[in-house]
Amino acid sequence: MFAAELRLMLRARYPVLGLSALEEERAEQAVTAVAKDLGRAVYLWDFVEGYQANPTDSGFAKRNPLQALEFVEKIPQGAVFILRDFDRFWEDLAVARKLKNLYRRLQGEPQNLIVLGPDIQVPTNLREMVSLFPFPLPTAAEIRQEVGRLAPNLPAALQAELTRAAQGLSLDRVRRVMARGLAERGELNVEDIEALLAEKRETLRQTQILDFFPATTEWNDIGGLDNLKEWLLRRGQAFADSARRYGLPYPKGLLLAGIQGTGKSLTAKAIAHRWHLPLLRLDAGRLFGGLVGESEGRTRQAIQLAEALAPCVLWIDEIDKAFAGARGQGDGGTSARVLATLLTWMAEKTSPVFVVATANDVQQLPPELLRKGRFDEIFFVGLPDRRDRAQIFQVHLTKYRPQSWQTYDIERLAAETPDFSGAEIEQAIVEAMHFGFSQNRDFTSEDILLAASEVVPLAKTAQAEIERLQAWAAAGKARMAARSTLPFGDR
C-alpha cells in the first residue's frame, strides 16, 4: 500500500523522495493525508505560484527554486515539503549544491522533501540522495467508489463491469469518460464500458511501451501443442475467487522457447481469450531510452500499468532479443538494470499478472531469467510432427475454406511436408490460393503440394541452429509443448 510505504519513509526520515505521479492532485492529497496523520505540516511549492496553502508564506520563492530550498531551513521541525516539477532544476549547479547541503541537515530531522513530477529522472550526482518510488494508479476499490459517487443508483453488476473496464486508468480519465456518458444520455450503461476500454487502449498507446492487444485467437486456432494445452487448462480457474479460498497463489507465467513460426505468439493470444483476460503486449525493446535512468523508469511504468490492469496476461514478445546482451557492458549496464527490475518483480509479484514470454533463441538469454521462480514453467515449442501438421492444415483450411475443407487430402499434405512449421504451412496454403485465383478456380491439394515444394523450410536453412535448440530442450532444460519427442518432426 502506498500510504503505508510513504508513512514508513517519512518516519524513517528519508530526506529527499522522488514521487513519479501522473495524477498530481490525487498524489498531493495522498501525501497530505499521511503527513497530517503523522502530525506534520505540509508546504506546497511550484515555480509559478511559489509556496501555497499557508497565508503567511503565500507566493514566497516564486520563480526561484534556490530560494524554495532556503525556505526549508526556516521552518521548524515536523514538516513535509511538496515541490512540484522540481526535478527540472536539478541540473542547476547552485540548486544541486544547496540540495546536498540540505540533505545532510535533514537526515537527523523529521522533515522531508518530496519532489513530485510525472516522470522523475535523477542526475548521477544526486542519485545516492534521492529515493524514488512511483505513485500507483487507482485501485479497484477507489474506482468503484468514484463510479458510485458519479452514478449512485447503478445496478451492482454494471458497477462491477465499469470498475473492471476502468482499471488501469487515472481517476481523471475515468471521470471524463463517465461525465461524457452522463451528459450524452443522462445515465451510465453498457456503452460506457466500451468507451472506457477505448480510453484504456489510447492511454496504453500513449505510453509507447504497452499495447492493448485484442485477444481474438481461440484455442482451436492452434494445432498441436497438446502438452502445453493440458498444462494451461489445469490453470484455467487459477484467477477465480475459489482458487484464493483454496489457498492457491496466482500463477506467475510461462516462457515459450523454440523455433520461429511454431505458434508461440498465437498461444499467448489464445491464453488471454481462453481465460477471458485482457492481453497486454510488451515490446521489451521499447523499454530502453537514451537518458540516464529512463529505461528503468519505463520498466517500472510498464509494471505499474500491468498491475493496475490485473488480472491480465502480459505478453513479452521475443524477450531474447531485448536481453541477449544483459551480461555485457556495451550499454553501460542498462540492460542488466532493466532485467534486474523485471526479474525482481517476476519473482516477488503477488498480483494476478500472468506473464507469457516468447523467445526464439533461449540460449541467448541470461541464466537468471531461466531460474525457477521466475516462471511457473518453461516449454519448448518445436517443429510439429505428422499428426500435429495434420491439425495445423485443418485449422488453416477451415479458416480459408470453412465450407469445403473436408475435400482436401489433409493426411497426404501432412505426410509430404516434413519439417514444416505452422507458419510455413499457412504460407504454402496462401500461395496455393494465388495459383487457383490466377486461373479463376478454387485451389486444390495439388496446388498446396506444388506451393510447398517451392518453400525451403527453416529446418533446412537454419538446421544447425535448430538442432542446437532441440538438443537444449532434450537435455531436460524445458518441457516439450507437443507430445512428439522426435528431434525433427518425422525425420
**One-letter amino acid of 369:** L
Q: What is the pLDDT of residue 213?
A: 81
CA–CA dist 264, 379 (Å, integer): 10
Q: What is the pLDDT of residue 290?
A: 56
pLDDT digits (tens, 9 = 90+) for 343-359: 889 988 888 899 999 99
pLDDT digits (tens, 9 = 90+) for 301-316: 888 888 888 888 999 9
Q: 386-418+422-456 is classed in which CATH architecture?
A: Orthogonal Bundle (1.10)
2-134 has which CATH code? 3.40.50.300
Helix locations, 349-401, DSSP H: 386-400
The domain locations on the chain are: 2-134, 140-207, 246-380, 386-418+422-456
CA–CA dist 118, 19 (Å, integer): 8
CA–CA dist 178, 189 (Å, integer): 10
Task: Determine the average pLDDT of the residues in 140-163.
Answer: 89
Neighbours of 55 (CB within 10 A): 6
pLDDT digits (tens, 9 = 90+) for 417-439: 998 999 999 999 999 999 999 99
CA–CA dist 345, 282 (Å, integer): 15
Catalogue the E-assigned strands of 301-434: 312-317, 353-359, 377-381
Task: Determine the average pLDDT of the residues in 351-377.
Answer: 86
Query: Which residue, 129, 166, 122, is CA-closest to 148?
Result: 166
| Whether pLDDT at 488 is above 50 | no
Q: What is the pLDDT of residue 1?
A: 80
Average pLDDT of the chain to the nearest whole number: 87
Helix locations, 15-139, DSSP H: 24-37, 65-74, 93-106
CA–CA dist 390, 395 (Å, integer): 9
Domains 2-134 and 246-380 share a fold: yes
Query: Which residue, 239, 254, 481, 451, is CA-closest to 346?
Result: 254
Strands 50-52, 79-84: pairing kind: unpaired
Contact call for residues 87 and 115 (beta carbons, < 8 A): yes
Q: Please tell me which residue, 327 or 87, carries the higher pLDDT value.
A: 87
Contact call for residues 223 and 392 (beta carbons, < 8 A): yes
Strands 210-213, 50-52: pairing kind: unpaired
Confidence of residue 288 (pLDDT cuts 50, 70, 90): confident
**C-alpha dihedral, 475 to 478 to 482 to 488, nearest 10°:** -40
**One-letter amino acid of 248:** L
Q: 246-380 is classed in which CATH architecture?
A: 3-Layer(aba) Sandwich (3.40)
Q: At what angle do helices 93-106 and 65-74 cross, to 10 degrees?
A: 20
Q: What is the grid cell recorded at 465?
A: 541452429
- List the 312-317 sheet strands across, edge first: 210-213, 279-283, 312-317, 353-359, 253-258, 377-381, 479-480
| Whether pLDDT at 446 is above 90 | yes
Q: What is the pLDDT of residue 39?
A: 93
